[in-house]
Chain A
C-alpha cells in the first residue's frame, strides 16, 4: 500500500448525498479479476451521457477541476454494496482523499485498505468547503494526516482516524501483515474455540 503523510491539492465538489457504490462503479464493470482499469469507469453513468459522450456538466469532467486529488462529497458517501471496486475506481481515477460529513462503514474500511483517506468533517465545515471550492476551483486544500488536520486559507478542521489505521496509512502497512504476525495467538484461540 502507498504511504500517505501530507497532501496539498485542489478538490472536486460532488454535493450529492447518499452516493452509493453502484454509482461509484456500476455492477456491469465488476467482471474483471484484477484491480486494474476501474478508474476509467468511476461514476460511469453520471460522467457519461446516454450516447456515450462525456457529460460536460458533471463536476469531475469540468476542466477547472482537472488534476484534483481530493473529492468532496455529500453525506453518507459509499453506502450500499460492499464492492471494494468502488475504492479501486476512486483511487484508479487519481483521488487520494474523500471528504464528506459521513461515510458508510464498509466503504470507509475499503478506502483505508487502499491508501485512500476518508475524512469525516462536520456538515457545517463541508458546506463551507463546498462553497469555497465553488467560488475558487483552484483553492488549495492541505491534508495533514500526522496532525489530523484539513486546512484551507479560510478554514481549518481536525478529523478523527483510528490510531491503528493512521499508523498503517503513514507507513503503507496493511492488515494482512499484522494478522500474519499474530498467527500463534490465532492458533491458540482455535484450540479453545467452541465447535459443534
Chain B
C-alpha cells in the first residue's frame, strides 16, 4: 500500500518504538518564544541537563511584545521580565534569538518560513498550537506543551503516538472574493472544531495546488481550530520557488538535491486515509463567524442559524446576536489585521488594494500589525505603507498583538472586532471583547465602511 505525505515524513523521523507504546520522533527544528519556554528552561536547570542541540533551535519574541515604541523599555514589568528571561536563557544556552527590533524578528510562524528555516520534509515543533502553519511546506509541524519543550531541549526528540490520517479535498473554482481564510473557515464551519482531533490533516485538490505559499500557510495555520494537531500540503514547484534563495534554505547543489528528495514526498496514488472530506470550491463564499468558536461560521450574506444547543445559545448571548439574524450592516468599531494567520505580505497587499483611494470610517479603530520586520520592510518598499496612511490607517510594529491580547492591544469589553486572527473564543481579544473572524479583504472593507459590508458586491481588484 502506498504512503501518505505524512507517513513519509513521519517514518523518516522515527528513532525507535516503545513496546506497546509511543514512538520516539526526532525533531529537526524547534522554534521557541518568551511565553511557553521559561518553565522548560527552569526544568532543565533544576535537573542539571544541557540543551542537546542548540543549533536546531531558533527563538523570537512575539506573544508578549508591544506593537508601538518597541525601541523604548517595556512598561509592563512582568512582560519586560519575561522577555529578559528569554534573552538570558538564549545567551546561556547558545540559542539564536531574533529579539525585539532585530531585522528578522516577527511572529514565530511568519518569520521562520520567511527566513527559509521551514523546509519540506522536516519535523518542526513550537510551544504554540499554530505551529501547524509550517505544514504548508509539506512539513510535520505541530504545537507542543511546555513539558514537551523541555523534552526537545533535553533530547531533540519527543515521545508520540502516530496520529490517524485525514484528508480534506477542495476542488473547483473559487469565486473572485474568496480567499484562503474563507476556505478554511468554511471547512471548519462544515466539519466542526473537533473533527480533526487525533488526526493529522492533508489538504488536497486543485484549490490548494493553485494557492500561494502565504495562502497555504493561512489554511494550515487553522488546522488546530478543527482539532487537528497539524495540517500539510504536498510540496510542489510553488513551494520550491518560495524556499529557494532564502537565508537558511539549502543553496546550490544542496538545494537541487533537496528538491529531488522533496519531490518524492507527495502522497502516493494508492495511499488511503482514515477519514476523508470533499468540498466544492463553488460552494465557498467570504465567511464570518458569529459565535465563540471558529466552527460557528456563516457566509457573509448568510444568516445565523435560528436555533442550536446550549453552546450555541451561550455563544449568541456572549456575542449579543440573535438567531436568524444577518451580520451585514452590523456597526464595527474595531478591526484587527494581523496574527500568524493573516499578517503576511500578501494579506496586506489585498487589504491595500481595497483601501487605495478610500478612507477609513471615523468610528473605526484599526490595528494593522505586520507579522514580521521583513513584512514591515516590504510594505514600505512596495509603497503600501503610504497607501494605508493616505487612507487614514497607521501600521504598528510586528507581534501577535490583539490575536491573544497579552500585550496592551486589547479590544474593550462589549465591542465587536472584525479580526483576521484565528480564534473567536470568549475574551480572547480582551475581557468581554466580541470577535468576528474574517479574511483580510473583509476586514479592510469593514474598516472603510465602519460596518460589515457584502464584499461580493464590490468590483474585484
Interface residues of A (CB under 8 A from B): 15-18, 20, 22-23, 26-28, 30-35, 45, 50, 74-76, 79-85, 87, 102-106, 109-110, 113-114, 162-164, 174-176, 178-180, 182-183, 185-186, 189-190, 193-194, 196
**B12 to chain A: which residues have CB within 8 Å?**
193-194
SS class, residues of chain B in contact with chain A? loop
Residues A110 and B24 in contact, CB atoms below 8 Å apart:
no
* CB-based contact B22/A164 at 8 Å: yes
B129 to chain A minimum Cβ distance, whole angstroms, is: 4
Are B154 and A45 in contact (CB-based, < 8 A)?
A: no
Which residues in A have their C-beta under 8 angstroms from that of B81?
31, 33
Contact A110 B147 (CB under 8 A): yes
Chain A residues with CB under 8 Å of B129's CB are 80-82, 106
Residues of B bordering A, CB below 8 Å: 12-13, 15-16, 18, 20-22, 24, 26, 28, 35-36, 38-39, 42-43, 47, 49, 63-64, 76, 78-79, 81-82, 85, 119, 121, 127-129, 143-148, 150-151, 154-159, 161, 163, 193-194, 197-198, 224, 227, 229, 250, 254-255, 257-258, 261, 293, 309-311, 314, 404-406, 413, 423, 425-428, 431-432
Q: What B residues does A110 contact at CB under 8 A?
A: 145-147
* Chain B residues whose CB sits within 8 angstroms of the CB of A17 once the complex forms: 309-311
A164:B156 contact, CB within 8 angstroms: no
Inter-chain CB contacts under 8 Å: number: 193
Whether B145 contacts A186 by the Cβ 8 Å rule is no
Indicate if the CB atoms of B311 and A16 lie closer than 8 Å: yes
Rounded to whole Å, the gap between the CB of B426 and the closest CB of chain A is 6
The answer to whether B154 and A180 touch across the interface, beta carbons within 8 angstroms, is yes
9 A-B pairs with the lowest CB-CB distances in the bound complex, closest first:
A164-B21, A113-B147, A33-B38, A110-B145, A179-B155, A31-B78, A84-B145, A196-B250, A82-B143
Return chain B residues, CB-CB under 8 Å to A75. Answer: 194
Which residue on chain B has the smallest CB distance to residue A35?
B39
User: Using Cβ atoms and an 8 Å threshold, which residues of chain A touch B79?
Assistant: 31
Q: How far is the CA of A175 from the CA of B28 in the complex (A)?
A: 19
**B159 pairs with A175, CB closer than 8 A:** yes
